[in-house]
Structure 1
């Protein structure tokens, strides 16, 4: 089970998916070459041996970066497993490097360094589900 967040360009005034019009087409994050370079510069430890599917390992978490094969890259889906708030640092570092926003796919809201409650709710939900199946 992973917490999925999407890195993409959105208008500055958008704070949730409900505010995005059906016909909105976000600008790409950049060429695949430029996106990979930005990821490598922001987080040098990222394993990009497969440039379409990166991986980053932390002390208590792992993150897969679903970059895809399209060029230019429209968005990146992050699949985060594990726990600990230190995983949020690379999430926001990537968003900063790509000049984009972070959309919590479970909550449907944008997360910011000041609003990360979706990550905490995901961990609580995951833990409840794991304990109920034992």
Structure 2
């Protein structure tokens, strides 16, 4: 079970998924080559041995980056597991580096600095359904 966060280009005035027009088509994040370079610069510890599926690990959490094989790259889906609010640092760093927004797929809201409610809600749900992580 993971907390899923979508990195994609959205207009500046969009603050939640409900505001995205049905016909909205986000601009691509860039070519695969450029996106991989930006990701590596933003989070140098990332494992991109599979350039379609990156992995970033910390002591308390893991993050998989579903980059896909398409060129150009339209979006990147983050699958986050574990605990610790420090996971939000690379999430926001990646969004800023790719000049896009981070959308909490569970809550439908954009993630902003200092906002931990979606991450905390996911952990509470996960622990209730699966039991506390060890």
| Shorter-normalised TM range | over 0.9
Aligned partner of 2:85 in structure 1 is 85
TM-score by length of 1: 0.96
Q: Once the 2 structures are TM-superposed, how far is the Cα of residue 130 of structure 1 from its aligned partner?
A: 1.6
Partner Cα distance (2:13, 2:115) in 1: 16
Is 1:99–2:69 an aligned residue pair?
no
Q: Aligned residues, how many?
A: 132
Partner Cα distance (1:56, 1:48) in 2: 9
Alignment RMSD (CA, Å): 1.1
Aligned partner of 1:36 in structure 2 is 36
**Offset from partner CA, 1:59-86 (integer Å, 9 cap, x none):** 1000000000110000000000000001
Partner Cα distance (2:131, 2:53) in 1: 30
4+ residue segments displaced more than 3 Å = none
**Offset from partner CA, 1:13-67 (integer Å, 9 cap, x none):** 1011110111000000010000000010111110001100000001100000000
TM-score by length of 2: 0.96
Partner Cα distance (1:32, 1:118) in 2: 29
Q: Can you give the 5+ residue segments of structure 1 that lack an aligned partner in the other structure?
A: none
Q: Can you give the 5+ residue segments of structure 2 that lack an aligned partner in the other structure?
A: none
